[in-house]
Chain A
Amino acid sequence: MNDQVRIVRFNIFDRVFHVFIMVTFLIQAVTGMGRLLYATSWGKFVVNLFGGYGGATTVHNTVGILMIIGFVIHIAYVLAKVEWKSWRKSLFDADSLVPQRADVVHLGQKVRWFFGMGPPPAFDRWTYWEKFDYWAVFWGLPLLAITGLPLMYPLAASRIMPGWVLNVLVLFHRAEALLAMLYIFIIHFTIGHLRRGMFPMNECMFAGSVELEKEREEKPLWIARLEEEGRLEEAIVPGPPYWYRVMYFIFGYTALIVGLYLLLTIIIYRNYIEWH
Chain B
Amino acid sequence: MHLRRLLRKAVLQAALGLLGALVLWPPAAPAQEEVTSSIRRYRERELSTGYYEEYEVKPRRVRPFVGAPEVVRRYPSVTPYRPRAAVEPNVRSRMEDSHAGIQFYELRRCEECHVEEAKHSHTTRGNLTCRQCHGGEPIAGINYYYSPLNPIRRHAYVCSKCHEGANISFATYLVHEPKAGDPATRKTFASLYYSNWFMYLLIVGTLAFFGLHTLIWVGKESYHAMREKMKPEPQAKSPPEKPEPEEPENE
Q: What residues make up the interface of A, taking CB atoms closer than 8 Å to B?
A: 35, 38-39, 53, 102, 105-106, 109-110, 113-114, 119-122, 129, 132, 136, 154-155, 158-159, 161-164, 166-168, 171-172, 175-176, 178-179, 182-183, 186-187, 190-191, 194-197, 220-221, 275-276
In contact, B210 and A195 (Cβ under 8 angstroms) = no
> Could you tell me if A168 and B221 are in contact, using CB atoms closer than 8 angstroms?
no
Q: Which A residues touch B166, using CB under 8 A?
A: 155, 158
Nearest residue (CB) in A for B178 is A276
The contact string, 1 if C-beta is below 8 Å from chain A, for chain B 107-142, is: 000000000000000001100000000000000000
B169:A158 contact, CB within 8 angstroms? yes
Given the interface pairs A38-B125, A109-B250, the reply to whether A162 lies near B169 with Cβ below 8 Å is yes
Cα separation A276 to B198 with both chains bound (whole Å): 13
Once the chains bind, are B199 and A187 in contact (CB under 8 Å)?
A: no
Q: How many A-B residue pairs have CB under 8 A?
A: 127
Query: Residues of B contacting A175 with CB < 8 Å?
Result: 196, 199-200, 202-203
Q: In the complex, are the beta carbons of A121 and B172 less than 8 A apart?
A: no
Give the CA-CA distance A263 to B125 in the complex, in Å: 22
The residues of B that contact A172 with a CB separation of less than 8 Å are 195, 199
Knowing A109-B250, A155-B170, A183-B206, say if A171 contacts B211 (CB, 8 Å). no
| In the bound complex, CA of A102 to CA of B125 (Å) | 49
Asked whether A168 lies within 8 Å of B169 as measured between CB atoms, the reply is: no
Which residues on A sit within 8 Å (CB–CB) of B179?
Answer: 276
Q: Cβ of B164: which chain A residues have Cβ within 8 Å of it?
A: 155
Other than the given A179-B207, A196-B218, 16 more pairs (CB < 8 A) read A102-B251, A105-B249, A129-B210, A132-B210, A155-B163, A155-B165, A158-B166, A162-B169, A164-B172, A168-B192, A168-B195, A171-B192, A179-B202, A183-B206, A276-B181, A276-B196
Contact B221 A196 (CB under 8 A): yes
> Which one of B195, B200, B218, B250 has the greatest number of beta carbons of chain A within 10 Å?
B250
> B102 in the interface, Cβ–Cβ < 8 Å?
no
Q: A35-B125, A39-B124, A129-B213 are in contact. Are A158 and B250 (CB under 8 A)?
A: no
Q: Does B149 contact A (CB under 8 A)?
A: no
In the bound assembly, the distance between CA atoms of A172 and B192 in angstroms comes to 9
B: contact size bracket? 35 or more
In the complex, B85 has a CB within 8 A of chain A = no
Chain B residues near A221 (CB, 8 Å)? Answer: 248, 251
Q: How far is the CA of A21 from the CA of B148 in the complex (A)?
A: 46
The chain B residues found within 8 Å of chain A, CB to CB, are 39, 124-125, 163-167, 169-174, 177, 179-181, 189, 191-192, 195-196, 199-200, 202-203, 206-207, 210-211, 213-214, 216-218, 220-222, 225, 243-245, 248-251
Cβ distance B4 to chain A, nearest Cβ, rounded Å? 47
Give B134 Cβ to nearest chain A Cβ, in Å. 19
Q: Which residues of A have CB within 8 Å of B211?
A: 186-187
The 3 closest A-B pairs by CB, nearest first: A175-B199, A276-B180, A158-B170
A171 touches B165 (CB 8 A): no
Tell me the complex Cα distance, A223–B180, Å. 51
B250 contacts which chain A residues (CB < 8 A)? 102, 105-106, 109, 121-122
Bound complex: CA A122 to CA B246 (Å): 9
Partner of B218, one of A122, A171, A195: A195
Contact at B216–A114, with CB atoms within 8 Å?
A: yes
Once the chains bind, are A163 and B163 in contact (CB under 8 Å)? no
Q: In the docked arrangement, what's the CA distance between A53 and B220, Å?
A: 46
Q: Is the CB of B206 within 8 A of A179?
A: yes
CB distance from B191 to the nearest CB of A (A): 5
Cβ of A171 and Cβ of B125 under 8 Å apart? no
A119 to B217, CA, bound (A): 14
* Contact among A119, A161, A276 with B245 in the assembled complex (CB-CB below 8 Å): A119
Contact assessment for A168 and B191 in the assembled complex, using a CB-CB cutoff below 8 Å? yes
What's the least CB distance linking A116 to chain B, in Å?
9
- Known contacts A122-B248, A163-B173, A168-B195; decide if A187 and B218 are in contact (CB<8 Å): no
Which chain B positions have C-beta within 8 A of A114? Answer: 216-217, 220
Residue picked from A166, A168, A183, most chain B C-beta under 10 Å: A168
A241 CB to closest chain B CB, in angstroms?
31
Shortest beta-carbon distance, B212 to chain A, in Å?
9
A163 touching B192 by the CB < 8 A rule? no
Given A114-B220, A276-B180: A164 touches B173 (CB 8 Å cut-off): yes
Contacts A176-B199, A183-B206, A190-B218 given; does A38 touch B124 at CB 8 Å: yes
B38–chain A nearest beta-carbon distance, Å: 10
Contact A154 B163 (CB under 8 A): yes
